[in-house]
Structure formats: C-alpha cells, structure tokens
Structure 1
C-alpha cells in the first residue's frame, strides 16, 4: 500500500484532522525517481459556527418536517440524511475547547468551554445535578430522583434488591433518560459499565456532558423504534423518572 502522497493546501477554514475521500484524486507528475504518480487529497472544510451543535441524524429538519406525526416523540429518533445529502464539512468544536479533564477527576468536573450549556443549571439547579464554578462545571452527583447523590441511591437499590449485586451479578446497565449521567459515572467505581442515553431535547444535548465526563453514552430516544441491542444485552435497564410509557403499545 502506498502512503506517499501530497497533502492539499490548508486554508484558515480547513482542518488537518480528516481528508475528503470522495474528492477526485488528481494525478500529478511522476516523481523524479520514476515512481508511481502522486495524488492530491482534498480536505474537508470546517462547517459554519452556527452548526456547532449539529448532529446529522438528529437535526435533519427536512425529514423531520415530513413526518406524519410527532406525537410519540418521533422527532427525537434518528432521521439520517440520504447518502447524497451528507455533510461536506466538519462540525467545529466549541470556542475555547480544551483537552478533556482525565478520569477519575472528570466524574466530578469538566471544562465549561467544552460543553457551554447552562440551561440545565437553571432547570435542574434544585436537584443537585450540576453547578458552574468559574471555568468548570461541577457534578455533585445528584439526579431528579436522587438529589442526595448517586452513591446513596445505589446503596438504597442494593438494600432493596440484594440480588442486584453491582459488580458481580450486574455488570452492564442501560440508563434511560440519563441527565448528566451521574448514575453511570458512579457505577463505574462499582465495576459496572453503563450506557447512558437521552434525547437531544429542550435541555440541550445532555449526552455531551456524559461523554465529556468519560461515561459511555449516546443520543437516543424510546419512541417508536427499538434500540439496536438484543433483548439480553443489559443486566438492568434503569429509568429514573424518564417519562417513558413502557406499555403504550401493549407490551413492555
């Protein structure tokens, strides 16, 4: 495999992190050594700043507008653009983005500039979810149903259901409507791996907080489609006031 190639010119609005594999490759003159023709690889430009929060399969407004109904949360499901309508630019990082704080410190604090959203502080300030201290977000460990902290909540679950046995009987958990993912963050110290999911809704993209903290997470919603996991992929499915009507369609 040849790895000898010329890189296209990089402008002020280009990135050096990826190349456009769909761009035509233009043969250049044969090198002085008489080797194979060299090719120029064009680069993806950076998208406009207005697209900093853009997620192609969740912000596809054209397809969302054509939905016959959104009463059951269909707009929060994935609606990926057609192959010929994909992005031809890279979504930019937030202004002032820094290297993430490493785990385990990231469980308790992340840089504000990396996830510059404050609505959760306004909406959930009394539930001990998240606070802003100078240039960082702090996570006290609380949640809607466990304002006194995830650790205490996990202890209570263990007392009520001893067979849950976090770290032995229970090793893989799905947390639905995860908020800032404190439930999953504190389970990591109990040898439990949690996938935290939440929709991209009026509370901005909560999943960004989870990922910035170092917790496995994905933007997803339980609406009209199943997630792409088998029925026994998780030992426990946790829903703390996630407002999902589990029996709406006649079955769990």
Structure 2
C-alpha cells in the first residue's frame, strides 16, 4: 500500500490577532499589525506598515496613512459631537508616519468641510481630542490632553503645550509654540510664542525656527514685523499698512499679513504692563 505524506505548507505570519474584528468592507493593507480587542468598522482604509494597539476603535469614514502608530484606547472617526450633524457622509484623514497615543479621540467632519484632517509626521499625545472639521498640518505636536473644538485650523510645525483648550474656529499659524495650560480663544499668527493668561504674544519662536533651518536674517525680518505689530503703538490695521509700505516683501511678511487680514476672531494681543491683555 502506498503511503502518501502531506508536505506541510509554510506558515505565513499573521499580522492581525484572532480577537480583532475587521469589517469585510474595510480595506487594510496586508502588513498592518493589529493587536487584540480592536474593532475596525466598514468604509475604513489603513495604509501599509501601520500598527494599531489593543482596544482601539476605528469607525466608518476613517482614512489612516502609512506607517502610523495608534495606541490603546484611541477612537478614530466617531460621529461629530455637533447637534447639527444629520448623518452626512464625511471622513477623518490621518497622514503618514503619524503617532496617536492612548485614548485620543478624533471625530469625523460635518457638511461644513466634509472631513477632519491630521497631517503627516504628527504626534497627538494621550487624551487629546480633535473635534469635527479640524485641520491640523504636518509635523505638529499636540501635548497631553489638548482639546481642540470644531473647525480649528493649526499650521505646520506647530506645538501646543499640554492641557490647552482651543476655541472653535480658531486659526493657529505655522511654526507657533503655545504654552501649556493655555486657553486659546483668538487667532495666533505664524512664527510666534503664545504665552501667559490671557494668552498673549510672547515673542518670535526663534528657537523653533533655528531648529527648522531658518536663517538669522529671516528670523530678524520676522522680529521686525512683530515689533511693528505689537510694540509700535499702532492698531492692527495701521500696523499691517505700515508693514506693507515700509518692509521688504518676503514669503514670511506676506504670510503674516495675509493671516492677520483673514483672521476671523482677531489675533492675540501683547501682554500689558498691568498684567492684562492690551486692546
């Protein structure tokens, strides 16, 4: 009698734990690693090389980029905490190489923008909340427990210190540093430090700009612009007119001027000698 011996097939490494649930309509790259007790809903896309820890919930409309790390307890793509939301199809978009730490919540958009977006190479630390229709640029850091209300816009390379709260519709420019524990209720122009209570202009973010390759001449040019805005005794409109007439055109000058002209909530002011915000 002939004896047939089955040749064992080579085992493939399983990247998804058997206690994980993935909806059949989700599109998850083959090398995504997902730890146990995580739930991936339908209409979700997850890019190559991403790791998702235990007890994470990724809900409908989430778009996760490549090489991201999402730590236990995070909830991505829950519906907006907005009573005007009526079930419209919207998304959350997370860029490549972004880290989302424990218990972060990022809600999807409403019909206003249709999406909430976090850029590439960001770090969103534990217990942060990013509400509906927020747009966060590339290379941003939100420290522990930063709370962003709806429709907030944060520019590239901005750092927000822990336990800060950002009012809805606030716009924070790029290369900004916001001190921890801040209440951000007005727009924060690019390239500056925002400090104290009430939140006020605290100088140019020269340390951050040097780290990112800005030349000394560029930093001094930015300093000259903000000296006119905050120290020359002009109101905002007068200062902007003076800057456009007297200072040499540059990318930095034009960005600052455009940001202030388009500000919907008004910009933060200089901290007064009496210990209060100057009008």
> What TM-score do the two structures reach when normalised by structure 1?
0.25
Higher helix share: 1
> What TM-score do the two structures reach when normalised by structure 2?
0.23
